[in-house]
A = this chain, B = another copy of it.
């Protein structure tokens, strides 16, 4: 009935990040920080976790002399998100009494 929810994705900030990356395909650290209103420290930690899980790729570059962290969703990340959403549905809908 209730399938286990992906613990990586069942986190407000990580879910928001993945959700954004699925929409935009590529986003800077600062953009994600603005959109999610997360603190930089928290975002940094959660991005590492998403990377470790293989859900996102992180590319570090320089732009206009400043460091720039670019993030992209991976196919694995897309699959995980889709499965998470699917599993979550069972928790959100009213069940028939059986």
Residues of B within 8 A of A2 (CB): 12, 16, 19, 35-37
A52 at the binding interface (Cβ < 8 Å): no
Given contacts A1-B35, A2-B35, A2-B36, contact A95 B12 (CB under 8 A): no
Specify the main secondary structure of chain A where it touches its partner. helix
Question: How many residues on A have C-beta within 8 angstroms of the other chain's C-beta atoms?
Answer: 26
A74-98 interface with B by 8 A CB criterion: 85, 88, 90-97
In the bound assembly, the distance between CA atoms of A61 and B2 in angstroms comes to 28
A39-98 interface with B by 8 A CB criterion: 85, 88, 90-97
Establish whether residues A16 and B91, one from each chain, have CB atoms under 8 Å apart when the complex forms: yes
